[in-house]
Chains A and B, each alone.
Chain A
C-alpha cells in the first residue's frame, strides 16, 4: 500500500512547481509557502495544496500551518539565504523529521546542512555531472560526487588499445588521495591483488579526492596512438 506523506514545500519556482504537480497527483498532502501570486494561481489551477502566500523566512506565516505534523519539508526557493533560514525554522522550531534543501551555490551546501538540512542538493552540480557523463559517453562516468568535500567515485573503461594495459595498479594508486577499489572484468568483479595488471575492456572503479581521481581517469582511458 502506498504511504501518503504530509510534505511542506517552500518556494514554488522552477524546481518547486513541477514537484508540487508530481506529488499532488500522487495523492500526497501538500502545504506550500510561496511569495508570488502567479505561482500560487498556477498551483490552484493544476494541483491541490494548502497554499500560504508570503516568505518562508517570516515566522508569522508558520503559525497556522501545523508544521509539527509534517513528514518532510523541502526548501526550494532560488535564494540560498531563505532556504537556510527555512531549514533552521523547520528543524529547530518544529522538529520536522526530514528536511531537504536546494542550494543554488555549491558553497551553500555546508551552511544548509549546518542549519539542519538532512539533504542539501545543488542542482547545477548534479546537472553538470549528468552532462559530463554524456559527453564522455560512459567511458568515464562519475557515479557519486560530494562536491563540498571534494570526493568522487568514477568508473573508467580501459580501451582495447589502452595505454594502461599490462600496467600494475600501483602506478595509479595514491595513498591518502586515490584508491582503485575494484575492477569489473568479464562479468565479475575483482579486488586487485599485488600482481594485478590491467586488460583491455576492464571497467575500473576509482574513488578519492576529486582532482586526483579525474587525472587518474584520464590516464586510464588513454589509448595508444598508433
Chain B
C-alpha cells in the first residue's frame, strides 16, 4: 500500500520545487534590505505556560504511538532486562537533556529550541540551518505519522472512516486549536495528557491482577548484550521531551521553569515506561505480546479482559493526539526561528496580534504535514528523522561548549554539571547511536540532510541574484 520507490524520487523533487517557487515570489522581500522603522514593532510571543502546563506538554509530545508499537519486540529481544534498558535510555536522555536545560534557561529569544541555541552559538550559518531543518521536518513528521496512526486506529474500529481523510481533518483541527493561541493548545494538551497518564497508570495497575514475579526469571533471557543493544531501539520513546525548549519564549519564568519541566517530564515518562515494561514482563507471558503489533493492548486484555484492550487502544489514540498537538506547536516555532535566522522568508516571523501565535509559520508547517500524509510514503521519512534527531542533539551539546567560551557573561540559571565532561559524553553517546543505526536509516538520513543543504544553496543563490538585480531596479 505504501509504494515508496516512486515517491522517494518524486516528493523530494516536489519539496524543492515548492521551496524555489516560494523564494521567487513576492513574499521573499527580505527585511534586510528595508529598514523597518522602530514604530512598527514585532509582536512578541506571549508567556502563558506555567510549570505544570509545560511538563504536560513535554510528556504528551514525548509519549506517542512509538511506545505502544515497539514494546512487544523490545521485551521479546531483551526479556525482563528491558526494564534496565529503559533506565539506561533514561540516563542517556538525561545526559542529552542537560545541555537543553542549560541553553533553554539562558539563551534569549529561544523559540524553536535547538535551532535558536545553535543559531546563538554559531550564527546564521549552515549548522544552524541543519539543526532547524532536521528538527522542523522531525516535528512535521510527528504530526503526519501521528495523524495517520490515529486515523488508522479509528478506522480499525469504524471501518467506514476513510483514514487519509480523517488524518488530514485531524491535522486541520489541531491547526485551528494552535491558531487560537498557546493557551488553547495548552488546555487541550493538559486534558489529553491527563487522560494518557491515567490510562497508562491503569495499565500498570492492571498487571497486578496477573502479576507473577517468576516471570522475571531468567532476567537476561537472551543474554546480557540485548539489554544494551536495545537501548537505541527504545530511545525514540524518550525523544520529544526536549521539544519543550521549542516553546521557551512562551513559558513563564522560563529560566526557572524550563529546566524543572525538562527533568519532571523525563521523570514522569521514565516512570511510565519502566512501569509499563515491568507490567508487561510480570503481568503476562511473552507469547501474548512477543510478535504482536499491539503488544500493550494484548497484555491489557490478558490482565483484565477485553475492556483492558479497549482502554489501552484509546490510550494509544490519545497518545498520538498529544504528540500531534505538541509537535505542531513546536514545529511552528521552529519555522518561526528559521525565518528569524533568514532561512525562510520573513513573512513567517509574523505573529498574530490577538492570538499571539506565528500563524503563517503554523499554516506552512501544517500544509507540509498534510502533504506528507497525501504522498503516503511515511517510511522514508521515519528513517531519515532518527539521524536528524541525534545530529541536532550533538549540535546543541556543541553549542553549550561554544557559548561557554563566547558568552561567559550570559547568566545561566541552570548549568550543565561536570562541564565539560557531560556535553562530551553526550556527543559520544549520540555519535554511538548514529554509528549503530541501520544502514537504511543512515543513508536516508544523509540524503535528507543533503536535500536540505541543496535547498539552502539554491535559496542563497536566488538571494544573491536578487541582490545584484536590485540596483538596476
Interface residues of A (CB under 8 A from B): 1, 3-5, 27, 29, 31, 34, 40-41, 43-48, 50-54, 60-61, 64, 71, 97
Contact = CB atoms under 8 A, between A and B. Distances in A.
Interface in B222-278: 252-256
Contacts of B109: 50
B285 interface: no
Given A4-B44, A27-B46, A29-B44, A46 B413 contact: no
B406 interface: yes
Contacts of B44: 4, 27, 29
B25 interface: no
Q: What bracket does the count of chain B residues touching chain A fall in?
A: 20 to 34
Contacts of B43: 4
B218 to A, nearest CB: 50
B342 to A, nearest CB: 15
B411 interface: yes
B332 to A, nearest CB: 20
A171 B109 CA distance: 64
Interface of B is mostly: loop
B119 to A, nearest CB: 13
B253 A52 contact: no
A1 B353 contact: yes
A44 B256 contact: yes
B409 A61 contact: yes
Nearest to B353: A1
A64 B407 contact: yes
A60 B406 CA distance: 11
Nearest to B255: A44
Contacts of B252: 48
B409 A54 contact: yes
Interface in B39-93: 41, 43-44, 46-47
Contacts of B5: none
Contacts of B253: 44-48
B201 interface: no
A44 B38 CA distance: 28
B108 interface: yes
Contacts of A41: 413
Contacts of B46: 27
A74 to B, nearest CB: 17
Nearest to A46: B253
13 contacts: A4-B41, A5-B41, A27-B47, A40-B411, A41-B413, A44-B105, A45-B255, A45-B256, A51-B255, A52-B411, A61-B409, A64-B407, A64-B409
A52 B41 contact: no
A53 B410 CA distance: 6
A7 to B, nearest CB: 12
Interface in B100-122: 105-106, 108-109
Contacts of A60: 409
Contact of A52 (B38, B254, B353, B410): B410
Contacts of A50: 108-109, 410
Contacts of A47: 253
A91 to B, nearest CB: 16
Contacts of A1: 353
Contact of A48 (B47, B409, B411): B47
A53 B254 contact: no
A48 B353 contact: no
Given A5-B41, A52-B410, A64-B407, 6 more contacts: A1-B353, A4-B44, A27-B44, A31-B108, A51-B411, A53-B410
Given A4-B44, A44-B255, A53 B409 contact: yes
Contacts of B406: 64
A5 to B, nearest CB: 8
A209 to B, nearest CB: 39
Which interface residue of A29, A34, A48, A71 has the most chain B CB atoms within 10 A?
Answer: A48
B38 A97 contact: yes
A47 B252 CA distance: 8
A46 B411 CA distance: 15
Which interface residue of A3, A41, A47, A51 has the most chain B CB atoms within 10 A?
Answer: A51
Nearest to A33: B409
Interface in B321-354: 353
Nearest to A54: B409
Interface string B393-421: 00000000000001101110100000000
Given A3-B41, A4-B43, A71-B38, A52 B409 contact: yes
A47 B254 CA distance: 8
Contacts of A3: 41
A52 B411 CA distance: 5
List the 5 closest A-B pairs by CB distance, nearest first.
Answer: A50-B108, A44-B255, A51-B411, A44-B413, A52-B409
Nearest to A58: B409
A51 B254 CA distance: 12
Contacts of B254: 48
A47 B106 CA distance: 13
A123 to B, nearest CB: 26
Nearest to B413: A44
A71 B43 CA distance: 14
Contacts of A53: 409-411
Nearest to B46: A27
B376 to A, nearest CB: 43
Which interface residue of A34, A40, A52 has the most chain B CB atoms within 10 A?
Answer: A52
Contacts of A29: 44
Contacts of A31: 108
A41 B256 CA distance: 9
A58 to B, nearest CB: 9
A8 B236 CA distance: 41
A118 to B, nearest CB: 15
A71 B254 CA distance: 23
Nearest to B354: A1
B404 to A, nearest CB: 13
A47 B353 CA distance: 23
